[in-house]
Every structure is written in structure tokens, then in C-alpha cells.
Amino acid sequence: MKTHHELALTEREHASMIQVRDLFASGAIEHSPTNVELPSGSVFYMGSPCFRCDLGEPSSGALMCIGGWFKAYDLGIVDADDTYETLVTEAASDVICDFVSEAEGELCELFNPAIGWAAVTPAVAALAIDGFLKTGKVNWPSVVGAGSI
């Protein structure tokens, strides 16, 4: 695994990426193939950095992509014991969206695959993160093919 220095990440960002990878690989996070009909809680959809969902008190959920979940962990707003109780304020949503949109280089490639976003499930995202952590790059067509076998 590459170090945070080699990946141009902070130590905390590197740790957050590993947490997100583990979350996606565990199957604990639900996949929404679109942003039209949202399941309850906080879910994964590659096409949305952070779309806040008002799901009632006291929690609110969010539809987030790889970068969105990554930054949410980095900000400390994900409850690791109950990922469906992720509290995303409007200010945090803005920070997350800015982080994803300002990503550069290979990190930008990880956050913005040139493939159909609906094909990127949490399991596929975990494979992509594995590749990024190991090599600093992502081969999305290969990852999507491996994740659908």
C-alpha cells in the first residue's frame, strides 16, 4: 500500500480512505443506482458528491459518492457504528462538494470515472479504492469488470 505522501494525501485523509474502503467492502452501505428514488439513511451513488436528504429528526441522510464518503469520514461526521445515521449539515455538504470538485490528478480520476455511474456499486468502489491505495491509479473498466463477476 502506498503511503499518504505517495498519494498526495494527509495522514488523516489516507486513514479515512481506508475506512471508506472497508465500509464499502463490508456491504453495510446501500447502493442507489440513481438519485431519483432514495432509500432511507445515507447511501452510495457515484453521481452525487453529497446530496442532503431530510429524513426526519434527529438524523438526516445523504447520497454520496466515493469522494463524498471519504470526506465525510475525514470530517468526522460518519457514525462508524451506524452509517445510516450520518449527520450532514449544509456547511458540511458544501465542504464535501468542494473537496470532490477540486480533486486533481489520480484522485480526480477515482472520484470521476469515465464510465456509467450506476455500474459503480459499493463493492466496485472498494475495488477501485484498493487499486488507488496500491498503485495510486484506477483502471475503472477493469475494476467494473472484476466487480461484476
Q: How far is CA 87 from CA 56, 90, 138, in A?
A: 11, 10, 30
In sequence order, what E strands does the chain have? 43-44, 51-53, 61-64
Does 4 map to a domain? no
> For position 149, what pLDDT does the model report?
43
> For position 124, what pLDDT does the model report?
93
Does 3 map to a domain? no
> For position 25, what pLDDT does the model report?
94
> For position 110, what pLDDT does the model report?
94
> For position 82, what pLDDT does the model report?
66
> For position 32, what pLDDT does the model report?
83
Does 1 map to a domain? no
What's the pTM?
Answer: 0.86
Does 38 map to a domain? yes
Angle made by CA atoms 134, 116, 94, in degrees to the nearest 5: 75
Does 5 map to a domain? no
> What domain count does the chain have?
1
Domain boundaries, position 127: 11-147
For residue 125 the three cell numbers come to 468502489
The mean pLDDT values, 10 residues at a time, for the chain of 149 residues are: 92 92 90 68 84 60 87 82 68 90 93 87 94 93 71
Does 17 map to a domain? yes
